[in-house]
């Protein structure tokens, strides 16, 4: 068997120059997918063994040591693996803990939020959501519907704009200043005549959110829709989510909004306690 054939069987790159550009591009895409698959396999190997050397990893992947070394180098640069200098072995790095922690937070909030959202939805009769920051949007990860909201739309999994939603305003208000200012510097889309698109006016709104402990939107995302949201904090006090109550403006009217806001803030405090805040 030739070297090229062996390389092909092991999935390694060859240096044939007779391929057409289309074939080369196709192989490049396939090679990229294969590299991702191998990188994930490296993480799984280290998770299984605790630590492993380049030779061991290469053997398990059935690739050349140089290929294993390149994969480890990329993963090490991203903090996903680290090397024990005295033994030359590799082990899972702190970057994996960071990713796992982010996923765990979402799972924990969803689980802990079920009884809180259900209680508020039953008490107020409106839709209750929990949203977390997802890059430049808020994404709803938990939803409970009250008796008055049986025909309400499903917000679960939906990404909503930060500047035009109550949850988004809460998340924006408690965001690191540099990150927040970067988002406010963008052109903010208008959804209704009541959407706040000016940075100065939105800053004032966010200051009020921090001061009063909750955010409100009235027909800023959709006509006829109003919502109130309060922050949810982790054990270290960092705001990691927002819990909101939403419904039609004829039910969430000016007379009722203070009551709903008070209950939403209490729900946020309860969920924060469940997440370890205050202990």
Extract the tokens encoding 253: 């009217």
* C-alpha 8 chain-centroid distance: 39
Tell if the pTM clears 0.75, that is, is over it: no
The per-residue pLDDT for range 72-88, each reduced to its tens digit, is 999 989 888 888 876 67
CATH 1.20.210.10 fits 30-104, yes or no: no
6: buried, middle or exposed (CB in 10 Å: 19+, 13-18, 0-12)? exposed
Spatial separation of the C-alpha atoms in residues 107 and 101, rounded to whole Å: 10
Place of tokens 């922050």: 231
Extract the tokens encoding 15: 């240096």
Extract the tokens encoding 36: 């991702």
The per-residue pLDDT for range 165-204, each reduced to its tens digit, is 999 999 999 999 999 999 999 999 999 999 999 999 999 9
Query: Where in the chain are all domains bearing CATH 1.10.10.10?
Result: 30-104
CATH 3.30.450.40 fits 106-275, yes or no: yes
Average pLDDT of the residues in 232-259: 93
The per-residue pLDDT for range 113-172, each reduced to its tens digit, is 899 999 999 999 999 999 999 888 999 988 998 887 655 566 677 889 999 999 999 999
By C-alpha distance, which of 89, 81, 79 is closest to 55?
89
Is pLDDT above 80 for 104? no
Query: Where in the chain are all domains bearing CATH 3.30.450.40?
Result: 106-275
Average pLDDT of the residues in 201-220: 96
């Amino acid at each position: 068997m030739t070297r090229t054939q062996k390389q092909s069987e092991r999935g390694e790159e060859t240096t044939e120059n007779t391929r057409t550009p289309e074939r080369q591009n196709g192989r490049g895409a396939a090679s990229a997918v294969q590299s991702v698959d191998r990188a994930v396999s490296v993480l799984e190997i280290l998770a299984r063994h605790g630590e492993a050397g380049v030779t061991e990893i290469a053997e398990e992947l059935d690739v050349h040591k140089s290929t294993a070394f390149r994969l480890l180098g990329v993963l090490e640069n991203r903090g996903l693996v680290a090397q024990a200098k005295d033994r030359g072995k590799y082990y899972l790095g702190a970057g994996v803990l960071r990713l796992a922690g982010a996923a765990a937070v979402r799972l924990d909030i969803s689980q802990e939020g079920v009884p809180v959202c259900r209680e508020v939805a039953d008490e107020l009769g409106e839709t209750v959501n929990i949203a977390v920051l997802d890059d430049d949007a808020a994404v709803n990860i938990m939803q409970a519907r009250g008796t008055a909201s049986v025909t309400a739309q499903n917000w679960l999994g939906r990404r909503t704009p930060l500047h035009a939603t109550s949850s988004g305003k809460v998340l924006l208000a408690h965001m690191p200043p540099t990150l927040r200012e970067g988002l406010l510097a963008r052109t903010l889309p208008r959804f209704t005549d009541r959407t706040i698109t000016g940075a100065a006016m939105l800053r004032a709104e966010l200051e009020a959110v921090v001061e009063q402990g909750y955010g409100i939107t009235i027909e800023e995302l959709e006509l006829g829709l109003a919502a109130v949201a309060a922050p949810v904090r982790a054990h270290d006090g960092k705001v990691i989510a927002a819990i909101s109550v939403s419904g039609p403006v004829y039910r969430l009217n000016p007379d009722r909004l203070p009551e709903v806001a008070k209950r939403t803030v209490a729900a946020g405090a309860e969920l924060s306690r469940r997440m370890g805040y205050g202990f």
